[in-house]
Amino acid sequence: MSFKKLFVVLTALCALVAGSVVPGGAAQKTVILATTTSTQDSGLLDVLVPMFEKQTGYLVKTISVGSGQAMKMGEKGEADVLLVHSPDAEKKFMADGFGVDRQLVMHNDFVLLGPAADPARVKGSKTSADAFKKIASANALFLSRGDNSGTHAKEKGLWKGAGINPEGQKWYQQTGLGMGETLNVASEKGGYTISDRGTWLALNKKKHLALTILVQGEPKLLNIYHVIEVNPAKWPKVNTAGAKAFGDFMLNKKTQDIIRTFGVKEFGNPLFFPDAGKDPKSLGL
Amino acid sequence: MDIIVEGFKQAAQLLWSLDPEVLGIALLSLKVSGFATLISLLIGITVGTVVALTTFPGKKVIVSVVNTGMGLPPVVVGLFVSILLWRNGPLGFLELLYTPTAIVIAQSIIATPIVMGITIGAMQNLPSNLKLQIRALGATRMQMVFMLIKEARLPLMAGVMAGFGGVISEVGASIMVGGNVKGYTRVLTTATVMETGRGNFEIAIALSIILLLFCFLINYFLTLIQQRERPR
C-alpha cells in the first residue's frame, strides 16, 4: 500500500470513528450533577440515576468529587445541581447567592474507625471530642482525607470541637484521596480515621479492612445530604429545568423509598435514611 | 494472592459472558484512544516530516519543545483542556466538557508530541544521501517525501505504538475532562480507578487485565505490520 493511500485510509477512518464517538450535537439535554464520592462509591447513584434518566429523558453527567469541589463547580456555574454533605459550607454557598433551592434529602452517619489493637485506647469514649483528645495525646496515627470533601470538613469541625489543631503534627497525615482509598490507607497503616457509615459498610464487606468502629451514635456525627440547584441568575448556562427535575426526583416518595431500602439486602442495614420534607431541627441541626 | 486469582477469574468471566457494561467501556476506550492516535498521526507525521526535512532558524528550539512534549504529564493536559472547555471558559460554547470528544482532544494533545518526536528522529536518521538519490531518479518533491516516509516506516510504527500505548493507559486527563460518566465517558482506566475506590478489587483487576489484553493485541497487530518486511 502506498503511503498516499494509507493517508486516505487514515483520514477516512478518522471520519468514521468521529461519527461514532462525537455525539450528535446537544440533542439530548444533559444535567451535570456534582456530588460526593460517598454517593457514588456506595453505589446509590448507580440505582437512582438510571431511574431519573428513564423518567425524564435527561442524560445525567455525574461528576463525583469531594463536597468542596462540587460546590466550587456550582460557584463557577460548571454544574447544574449538587448533592453534597457539608452543611456549614452549604449555608455559605446559599448566602453568597450561588444556589436557589437547598433541600434536605437524606442522612447517614459518620463513624470513628481505628485498628482493633486501639493503641490510643479510644474505645469506650463517650464523645468524639474525647476520642480525638486521646488520639492526639497518644500521638496515634490519624488519616485525614484532606481533600475539602464533606467528610474532611466534618473531621475538621470535630477537631475544633475537641480543641485540638492537628495540622502539621507528625501523627496527622492527609491522604488527599476519596473515602474508599482513605479507608484502605488507614487499614494498611493501622491508623484512625472517620468515614461515613455507607462507604465503610460497603468497603468492609468487599475487602475485610483491619479497622473497627470505635465511636458512633453521637448526634454530632450525623452526615446530612442536601440537594442544591445552582442559581441560573448567576450563570445563565445552567440547566435550570434539569436541575429542578433532579431535585424533585430526589425528594419524591418513590425515590425516598428506594433510599430507605438501599443496601439492606446486601449489608443487613440501610446505608442512608430518607429525610425529604423533614424539619432539619428534628435531626438535631 | 487470592484477590489476584479472583481477579483473573472475574476477567475471564466478564470476557466470556460478554458483559454489556464492560464491553461498552472497553469499546469506548478503543474508540477514543484509537481516534486520538489517528489525529496524532495525521498531525505528528505531517509536521514532524516538515520539521525534519527542512532547515529554518529556531529549529533546535522547536525540536526541543517537541521532545519535552513527549513527556507531557497527562494531568497537566487534563487541567488545561478542562479549563478551556468549561461552560464559562473560552471554548465553553462548544459544550464539550464531560463528553468522549473531550477525552479525544486531551489524548490527542498527549499523543501528538510523541508521534511527532519519533517522526523527527526517524526521518533525520535516514541516510543523508538517500534524498539526493531519490531526487536524482527524477522524483517530484512530494514523491520524495512519501519515499522517505516509506523508508522510515519501521520507527514510525514504533511511534504509533508509543502514542496509542500512551493514551489508552492514561487516566489523569481522561477523568478530568471526561468525568467518568457511566455509560457515556467511562473508559477502562477511569473505571479501574473507581472500582478500586469502591473496594471492588476483583473487578478492578479484571478491567486491568482486559486493558493489558487490548494493548497486547493491538501492539501485536502493529508489530505484524511492522515486521512483515524485514529491514534491509
Give the integer Cα–Cα distance in Å for A98 and A83. 14
Q: Is the pLDDT of residue A118 over 70?
A: yes
Residues of chain A neighbouring B181 (CB-CB closer than 8 A): 60-63
Residues B82/B86/B91/B92 CA torsion (nearest 10 deg):
150
- B182 and A62: CB-CB below 8 Å? yes
Give the integer Cα–Cα distance in Å for A239 and A232. 8
Give the integer Cα–Cα distance in Å for B4 and B183. 26
Q: Is the pLDDT of residue B119 over 90?
A: yes
Q: Which amino acid is at A112?
A: L
- Mutating which of A51, A62, A73, A78 best tests the B interface, going by the most B Cβ atoms within 10 A? A78
Answer whether 0.90 is exceeded by the pTM: no
Per-chain mean pLDDT for chain A? 89
In B, minimum Cα distance to A78 occurs at B87
Beta bridge partners of A228: A82, A102
Residues of chain A neighbouring B185 (CB-CB closer than 8 A): 61
What ipTM is given for this predicted complex?
0.83
Q: Is the pLDDT of residue A26 over 50?
A: no
Query: What's the alpha-carbon Rg for chain B, to the nearest Å?
Result: 20
Using a CB–CB cutoff of 8 Å, tell me whether A41 touches chain B.
yes
A86 with A37: CB under 8 angstroms? no
Mean pLDDT of B110-136: 93
Strands A142-144 and A172-174: parallel
Task: Quote the DSSP letter at residue A58.
Answer: P
Beta strands in chain B (DSSP E): none
- Using one digit for the tens of pLDDT, what is the confidence trace for B159-198? 999 999 999 999 999 999 999 999 999 999 999 999 888 8
Q: Is the pLDDT of residue A1 over 90?
A: no
Mean pLDDT of B55-81: 95
Chain A nearest-CA distance from B139, in A, is 15
Per-chain mean pLDDT for chain B? 91
A156 with A83: CB under 8 angstroms? no
Residues of chain A neighbouring B102 (CB-CB closer than 8 A): none
B185 with B166: CB under 8 angstroms? no
Residues of chain B neighbouring A203 (CB-CB closer than 8 A): 198-199
In A, minimum Cα distance to B37 occurs at A14
In A, minimum Cα distance to B101 occurs at A22
Give the integer Cα–Cα distance in Å for A210 and A115. 6
**What pLDDT was estimated at residue A24?**
43
Residues of chain A neighbouring B34 (CB-CB closer than 8 A): 17
Q: Is the pLDDT of residue A161 over 80?
A: yes
**3-state class percentages of chain B: helix first, strand second, coil last, to nearest 5:** 80, 0, 20
**What pLDDT was estimated at residue A16?**
56
Residue A202's nearest CA partner among A123, A85, A115, A111 is A111
- A237 and B181: CB-CB below 8 Å? no
B63 with B113: CB under 8 angstroms? no
